[in-house]
Chain A
Amino acid sequence: MMRILRWGPPRTTREIMQAVWIALVPGTLTSLWVFGSGVLVNICLTAVGALLAEWLGQRLRGCATKPALQDGSTLLTAWLLGLALPPVAPLWLPLVGGMIAIGCGKQLYGGLGQNPLNPAMLAYAILLIGAPVAMTTGWAVPFQHAPTVTVQAWLHGMTADGVTGATVLDLYRTTFEGLTAPEIALHPMFEGGGFGIAPGVAWVALSHVVGGIYLLSRRVIRWQAPVGVLVGLLGLAAFFGIDPDNQVPVLTHALAGATIFAALFIVTDPVSGATSPRGQWWFGVGVGVITYLIRTYGLYPDGIAFAVLIMNFCVPWIDQYTRPRIHGEVHAIRGTGRGRL
């Protein structure tokens, strides 16, 4: 346990994964408080699916299963996907999601470190396309849950009225059409907030920030990618969002949906993201801009998963053009000397 709680940059791959686990704890606890026990059930089921797929994938590829299951990366992917899925989803959804994430997103490409796409986001996107109803109607209304009710909702299918509902960004897309900002603010989702802040999801986002600061201070992640996402997304949102009657307000963009969670835990994935600090900055900006475009003009209320996948495709290109200048690279003689002494 002391090894897990160590400070300073991680010394093994396992320590990196464990640091991200620790960083996910505050956000997960807040999610449990806001959305109910469904969150935990999701994480457990994605973990089962993911570990199964990892074990099977390693076996089929003729690789050792034990180190792969123990390095912590599979559980991390599952945990991230579990947090991203709707909390009152049918039980098969997280299970299948975990299998897709690891099976298609990671093992098909050759296991840890080889995947060009973020496995959790790949699974999320496939589920969103393949099971749109389950993926969009399973969101718990913040603070409206009782554990038993949630379990009944699973047992009896998706008809738990009053327990499930649309997400904030969903509401903007469907219900708030034609309403003015003061009318929107009367919706129960915004009770206790203001300036477009929905308190339930905002608390979750802020708890993720705590985890993010922990990761930054342990040098597991760099600031460039998360800040890039926020600049790309919120810059556009602020520029076009002066009219709160017709546009989603900036603070809603920031604190609702998966913005903070993805900026800190998804976009910072080293395997599928750009690699140099400058590359990570542009990777983040790209994710932010595409997310804004999908949220505003696209088919889906939150497009961060697609934005991440699109930018994953661009990574080799970004890496090519953002490589830092090498010390001693041809031509230039840099420094005070400027040529010969």
Chain B
Amino acid sequence: MTKYATTLSTRRLPGGLSAPDGKGLTAQVPLRPLTPETLRIALPTERYMPLAAWSIGSIIKAGAPLFMTAQGVIQACPRTVQVTQLVDGMTLSSIPERCQILQLTVLEPSPPTQPCLAPLSSRPDPADLQKRAAEAGLVGLGGAGFPAHQKWSGELHTLVVNGAECEPFLTADERVMRERAPAIWHAIDVLMRAYSLTKCVIVLEDNTPDALAALQTTHPEALQDRDVSFTILESRYPSGAERQLIWLALGLEIPTTARPVEYGILVHNPGTLAALADAIDGYPLTDRIVTVTGPSIISPGVFRAPIGTPINALIAAAGGLQPGDHQVRHGGPYMGWEIPEEAPGMHAMTHCLYAAPAIARTTSPCIRCGLCAEACPVQLQPQQLFAALSHGQLDHAMHEGLAHCLRCGACDQVCPSALPLTDQFQTGLTRQRALSDEAKRADRARERFNARARRLERQAAEAETRRHTRRQQSESALERIRAARAKESI
């Protein structure tokens, strides 16, 4: 058995945190399947197309399509369920929005046992693969939730498997790599052949040797002749962020304004790859692996749970919360955010629930000590951004590079004044987006107005020309008649 080349990355993130990892809480606990009694699935806030009858009382089979999002991704029903009701709620996201939640009662606890879609051949062509990813509901499981099939375009040459789960306490990806290594290899094989990728780099952090071993012992014969290698990173937060990972593993800096695929690099989370392997076999995305952890959880663990599993059910499955005042966050301790009231159940991007004692942090004014700038992985000057934003100077903050902020929260961790830096940046970026949308709308309106004005002008000019030619014609006709009469009179 040949082992792939395994290299240590010599590059280092500017800034970042070398944090105590907290992964030990859940890394060795066996995976537990979980099926709750009810599911709460959020319907998209954008336009979508319902694909099932969800009048109250109707029964939907496991794996049957539920709805199609604006991006063309079809969400499958995770279990055989009966529709209970349709309620209003808030989306499970860092900036909650109003949404509708489909409340379902689970009738059969098992996921689909038969393929719901026709299995693809082991050498699917790109068009089939793209179609399959969309109909199997495949989105990036790393946290961004970007539809997978939309990444597979243009001239691709490198596949980067992002197994660097840099945030403390998170073990979902590590667990996927350990449990589903053959599926991950299968998906790598299929992707490399379908898109003629020349290179595959699997990136791991140095604190997940079990995942590395699992992948190395299961590599398939089919990939023997391909350029597949492992890169091991020093575990440092946030080395698993997409652009940071590409820089550390390949030495290539992708501009913030571009997506890596524009440079031919395809980055996938191991969970997404395992889900792709399932999709090829005909199983849509119905479940995902979630870490439920943190100092306030009684028995932290890793669960395979269907999409839509209520947050409470996940917490309860992990033994519940310790007595006292606790805060449950979606995501890890750094990038996570507080779960809103009336939240739906977990979605495909829920990799972790993290609970910790609620501590009221007393803030003090910023003294520009610069510790945040030392921690920033993209070398921003958070103290300057914060000052600009707290004075309402959004333009200045953008000039200082606000758009490059990863919202990784490293600055929050080191700030001696305990300032909510990332929150402020998120708010600023949201406002900037709203402003630029508004500017775009205004531009479009102006464009429409100008187009109309031009059209009216053109029509008027045309009418004028027509009138002119008619007058000329009639005048020349009169001229002829006069000439003829003159002739007659002679």
Contact = CB atoms under 8 A, between A and B. Distances in A.
Nearest to B263: A340
Contact of B255 (A67, A276, A331, A335): A331
Given A330-B257, A337-B250, A15 B368 contact: no
A270 interface: yes
Given A270-B370, A319-B384, A16 B364 contact: no
Contacts of B247: 327, 335
B416 interface: yes
A335 B379 contact: no
Contacts of B264: 340-341
A332 B253 contact: yes
A276 B243 CA distance: 23
Contacts of A334: 253
Contacts of B251: 335-337
A109 to B, nearest CB: 11
Nearest to B254: A328
Interface string B347-383: 0000000000000001011111111010001111101
Contacts of A112: 364-365, 367
A252 to B, nearest CB: 33
A323 interface: yes
B256 A328 contact: yes
A16 B366 CA distance: 12
B417 interface: yes
Contacts of B416: 10-13, 15-16
Nearest to B404: A326
A220 B362 CA distance: 21
Contacts of A341: 157-158, 199, 250, 252, 263-265
Interface of B is mostly: loop
A327 B365 contact: no
A336 B14 CA distance: 17
Contact of A113 (B256, B257, B367, B377): B367
Contacts of A270: 367-370
Contacts of B368: 113, 270-271, 273, 275
B377 A327 contact: yes
Given A15-B416, A341-B158, A329 B252 contact: no
Contacts of B147: none
Nearest to A220: B369
Contact of B369 (A16, A114, A276, A327): A16
Contacts of A67: 362, 364
Contacts of B244: 327
A12 B254 CA distance: 35
B256 A329 contact: yes
Contacts of B252: 333, 335-337, 341
A337 B254 CA distance: 10
Contacts of A245: none
B124 interface: no
Interface in B255-282: 255-257, 263-265
A156 interface: no
A324 interface: yes
Contacts of A114: 365
A9 interface: yes
Contacts of B21: none
Given A341-B157, A341-B158, A341-B264, A327 B378 contact: yes
Given A10-B416, A16-B369, A113-B365, A323 B256 contact: no
Interface residues of A, number: 40
B378 A328 contact: yes
B400 interface: yes
A221 to B, nearest CB: 9
Contacts of B256: 326, 328-330
A325 interface: yes
B401 interface: yes
Contacts of B373: 275-276, 324
B253 A327 contact: yes
Interface in B157-192: 157-158
Contacts of A15: 416
A335 B199 CA distance: 19
A112 B366 CA distance: 8
Interface string B391-413: 00000000011001000000000
A205 B250 CA distance: 49
A319 B416 CA distance: 22
A222 B384 CA distance: 18
Interface string A298-341: 00000000000000000000010001111111111111110011
A155 to B, nearest CB: 40
A13 to B, nearest CB: 5
Contact of B383 (A11, A275, A335, A337): A275
Given A12-B418, A324-B373, A328-B256, 19 more contacts: A13-B364, A71-B364, A111-B365, A112-B365, A113-B365, A113-B366, A270-B367, A271-B368, A275-B370, A325-B379, A326-B380, A328-B253, A328-B404, A332-B253, A333-B253, A335-B247, A336-B251, A340-B264, A341-B199
Interface pairs A-B: 6 shortest CB-CB: A328-B256, A113-B365, A337-B252, A336-B251, A327-B378, A335-B251
Interface of B: 14, 157-158, 199, 243-244, 247, 250-257, 263-265, 362, 364-371, 373, 377-381, 383-384, 400-401, 404, 414, 416-418
30 contacts: A9-B414, A12-B416, A12-B417, A12-B418, A13-B365, A13-B369, A16-B416, A67-B362, A111-B365, A112-B364, A112-B367, A113-B365, A114-B365, A220-B369, A270-B370, A273-B368, A275-B368, A275-B383, A275-B384, A276-B370, A326-B378, A326-B380, A326-B401, A327-B377, A328-B253, A329-B255, A329-B256, A330-B256, A337-B250, A340-B263
